A = this chain, B = another copy of it.
Amino acid sequence: MARVSIVGLGLIGGSIGLALRQWMTTPDGRKNSFELIGYDKDGEKANMAARMGVVATVSRDFGGAVRNADMVIICTPALAVREVLTALAPVVSSGAVVTDTTSTKQQVLQWADELLPNNIHFVGGHPMAGGTGGLGDARNNLFTGATYAICPSMRASETAIEQVIMLVRMVGASPLFIDPLEHDAAVAAVSHMPFTLAATLAKVTMDSDGWSEMGKLAATAYREMTRLAEGDPIMHRDILLSNKQAVVSWLDRYVALLFDMRELIKSADPNNPNSEAAKRIEQFFTAARDEREKWLNERSGGNRALESELQNINMGNVLSRGILGGFGRKPQGK
């Protein structure tokens, strides 16, 4: 029977487990032939995952969890991936597919290249959903409709890549092939810089002398703009370290534009909404609003297309479309 192992049972690992468990029974009631096993170095979390039924089996030892696995899904914070790959190298079966879910891809692909044997197929992955919760917030539809970035290593076979695409489909997401360099620059802009900006806003205001009054006046907008500061500090630290160049470069571009705005605001006449500076401020906000609306419209169009595709997958002919073929193809009793 094919074996899938999840290493790291937080929000992401837990949600992947819950999503995959739904496939253990096919829509026509037959059992799918794959085994789902989970591991977390935090014993408390492993116990909780077992109680939640995130995976079929929780292993208390790393070797037992990954030995004979056909696919290993690493769902730890970024810097811990290196440790997992090091521990994985001597025990993982020849031909196995290894994938991860961390937010930076160049660094992880480099580690996989250095640390894993040549006969292991590493395919980097990154689901663009998650939020800021822990295992307790895991749910089987966390990735429904989400984009899932895929960056295969040079040594990954076509079959290995297909199997990761199947995984992506099975958790309800839409695969997007992207160059690791491009990926890291993009997520620095739309994910890593945003959580850094949110935490900076929280810190600069809360550490100020006037905070006791400010806190009373702070409302929805402030709460929303600092929400990403809720995230796990270790996860944030690891992401920033493993994608530092791209993040620093985006922060520089951000500050340059913010400084332009500061200059415009400073130079504008408070009583004259028709001054050149006032017009440029208004244009800035008009463009930001309109471009964002365009993005939201395109995005919802894309989601609608994906939803109808997923509906077709759910329409019963899952096995005939080969979605599970990748796991099912393996010889039984391997």
A residues near B, CB below 8 A? 79, 82, 107, 128-129, 131, 146-147, 149, 176, 178, 182-183, 185-187, 189-191, 193-208, 210, 213-231, 233-234, 236-238, 240-242, 244, 247-248, 250-255, 257-259, 261-262, 265-266, 268-271, 273, 278, 281-289, 291-293, 295-296, 298-299, 302
Flag if B190 contacts A222 (CB, 8 Å). yes
Residues of B contacting A238 in the complex (Cβ-Cβ under 8 angstroms): 273
If A187-B217, A224-B227 are given as contacts, then 12 extra A-B residue pairs at C-beta distance below 8 Å, sorted by A number, are A82-B271, A128-B217, A189-B205, A191-B222, A194-B222, A197-B197, A199-B289, A218-B295, A225-B225, A230-B289, A230-B293, A247-B265
Q: Could you list 24 examples of A-B contacts with CB < 8 Å?
A: A79-B271, A147-B216, A176-B216, A190-B219, A197-B225, A199-B284, A199-B285, A200-B258, A202-B291, A215-B299, A229-B288, A229-B289, A234-B282, A237-B273, A237-B281, A238-B273, A241-B268, A241-B281, A242-B270, A244-B270, A247-B265, A248-B262, A251-B262, A252-B262
> Within the assembled complex, what's the spacing in Å between the Cα atoms of A184 and B231?
30
